[in-house]
Amino acid sequence: MKRVTRMLALLLAAVMLLPLAGCGSSDGKTHLTFQIWDVGQRDGMQAMCDAYTANVNPDVVIEVQVTSWSEYWTKLEAAAESNTLPDLFWMHTDQILYYSEFGMLADVTDLFPYAEHYSDISISNAQGSDGRMYGVPKDKDNICLIYNKEMFDAAGVAYPDDTWTWDDLESASQAIYDATGNYGYMAYNDEQLGYHNFVYQNGGCILTEDKTKGGFDLPATREAVKYYVNLQSYDWCPSQAYFAETTPGTAFFSGKGAMFLEGSWNLLAQMTNYPDMVGKWDVAVLPAAPNPVSGDGRATISNGLTYATGAHGKNLELALDVLTYFAGEEAQRIQGESGAAIPAYEGLEETWISAFDKFDYQLDLENAIMSQFDYCVQYVNNSARPKWKSGVVDIMTSIYNGSVDIETGLDNIQNLINTETAKKLADS
């Protein structure tokens, strides 16, 4: 009996020690970690990393780790504070100014001749307040209209195209609601996938050109936000209470609604996740503002992620070398072909479309997504954004639930952005 116990104890000790074995790189190679937040892009990212090992530096092995978006930033900030950042990680436009301002990110300006291969929007998404680059442009995206073909057929309405304006959006929604009883365009409380697009289409802005003030005092902006919020008063649009329980995507793919705005980065996942729906829906450019205060009424919000590394990482040299590879054509092509995202590298956009070849039905990506890059608007950002972002969401929520009237609400948003931005500018 005693021997059995002793053996069990030994076994247990061995099991406890097992994970430690992984710590030493017994294979003589350097192991780097690469933190991302989108599980849908894991395979594409791993393919890039494996290509680096195979083609550039066989002594480096990179492991991709996924943390969900909601936990990603809490975790990354804690890691930055204790100087234990992953060797490589994704950076988002919301956060890059904050991280670079505190010197957390390595300067990657001189790694690559970015200007030759990347658009101005891609480059400025990767810049800190000082104009240096703190991330390598990864991808670019924009927002499109996705619609249910069967519902349009049932209502006898022509599919959305580039002649559409907000008025067509409304009349088609009404027709579909009357004919099928399903919701038309689902306008929910969202910025990037919601009212920001409408604001820029109408000639307004969220932040002024120099990013020092909000644009919520402009008639064009106010009109667009009011228009957007007011869409929920139609029978064909669900209320915000509905969206709190059911996202527009869920409603759309369970056949409850005909249209909503979707980011290009979600399309591949939706083709994969809803195989029964393939062929029943398609994508189109965003409808234009019918009477814009300025401009031609066309706009879509375009954002782009970047690859970054910590400024004080212990594998900094290697990480920078990997980043140089990620900036190059080969890695960007692998990213595109895996369908992970549209490469930021100019001229490789089409590789992303090829990832959709495996489906029986081809989405109209060429017209809907690619053509929109001609008039897309850079995703909103300034260095004070972390301070005002959640406050603006709160005010929008209170506008939607009626506790604040929309005029006051818009004034409050303007004040909040201006106060926080001025405070930030005064500090730095």
Partner 1 sequence: MGKKAVRLSAAARREENWGYLMIAPTIIGLIVLNLWPFVQTIYTSFCEHLGFGNYKFIGIGNYVEMFQNPEVWRATWNTILFCILTVPVGLFLSLLVAMMLNAKIKGKGLFRTIFFLPMVCAPAAVTMVWRWIFNSDYGILNQIFGTNINWITDSKFVMIACAIVAIWSNIGYDAVLLLAGLQNISKSYYEAAEIDGTSKVNQFLQITLPMVSPTLFVVMIMRLMSSVKVYDLIYMMVEDTNPALTSVQSLMYLFYRETFVAGSRGSGAAIVVWTVVLIGIITIIQFIGQKKWVNYDV
Q: Which residues bind partner 1 (CB under 8 A)?
A: 74, 77, 80-81, 98, 101-102, 104, 188-190, 240-246, 386-387, 389-391, 393-394, 396-398, 400-401, 403, 427
- Residue with structure tokens 């869920």? 250
Q: Which is nearer to partner 1, 147 or 188 (CB)?
A: 188
The least CB distance from residue 336 to partner 1, in Å, is: 32
**Cα–Cα separations (whole angstroms), residue 302 to 124, 265, 372, 380:** 12, 11, 9, 9
What is the Cα–Cα distance from 170 to 409, expressed in whole angstroms? 25
Q: Which is nearer to partner 1, 5 or 390 (CB)?
A: 390
The least CB distance from residue 421 to partner 1, in Å, is: 15
The two tokens of residue 29 are 């190679």
The least CB distance from residue 42 to partner 1, in Å, is: 23
**Cα–Cα separations (whole angstroms), residue 149 to 162, 183, 209, 262:** 16, 14, 39, 16
Nearest by Cα to 221 from 243, 200, 237: 200
What is the Cα–Cα distance from 171 to 151, expressed in whole angstroms? 14
Q: Which is nearer to partner 1, 149 or 387 (CB)?
A: 387
Q: Which is nearer to partner 1, 149 or 389 (CB)?
A: 389
Evaluate whether 28 touches 290 at the Cβ level (below 8 Å).
no
Burial state string for 186-225 with b = 16 or more CB within 10 A and e = fewer than 16: bbbbbbbbbbbbbbbbbbbbbbeeebebbbbbbebbbbbb
For 141-286, where are the E strands, in sequence order?
Answer: 143-148, 183-185, 257-263, 281-284
Evaluate whether 301 touches 200 at the Cβ level (below 8 Å).
yes
The two tokens of residue 169 are 């959006």
Q: Which helix (H) or strand (E) holds 9?
A: helix 2-21
Amino acid at 57: N
Q: Which is nearer to partner 1, 102 or 361 (CB)?
A: 102
Secondary structure (3-state) at 54: helix
Secondary structure (3-state) at 245: helix
Nearest by Cα to 344 from 356, 331, 357, 355: 331
The least CB distance from residue 108 to partner 1, in Å, is: 19
The least CB distance from residue 68 to partner 1, in Å, is: 12
The least CB distance from residue 397 to partner 1, in Å, is: 6
- Residue with structure tokens 């907000």? 166
The least CB distance from residue 84 to partner 1, in Å, is: 13
The least CB distance from residue 75 to partner 1, in Å, is: 11
Q: Which is nearer to partner 1, 43 or 405 (CB)?
A: 405
Q: Which is nearer to partner 1, 220 or 396 (CB)?
A: 396
Q: Which is nearer to partner 1, 98 or 152 (CB)?
A: 98
Q: Which is nearer to partner 1, 6 or 423 (CB)?
A: 423
DSSP 304-318: --EEE-BTT-TTHHH
The least CB distance from residue 256 to partner 1, in Å, is: 9
Q: Which is nearer to partner 1, 12 or 244 (CB)?
A: 244
Which runs of consecutive H residues, i.e. helices, occur in 189-340?
196-201, 219-230, 240-245, 248-253, 267-273, 316-327, 329-337
Secondary structure tally for the chain: helices H, strands E: 19, 13
Q: Which is nearer to partner 1, 240 or 378 (CB)?
A: 240
The least CB distance from residue 74 to partner 1, in Å, is: 5
The least CB distance from residue 102 to partner 1, in Å, is: 5
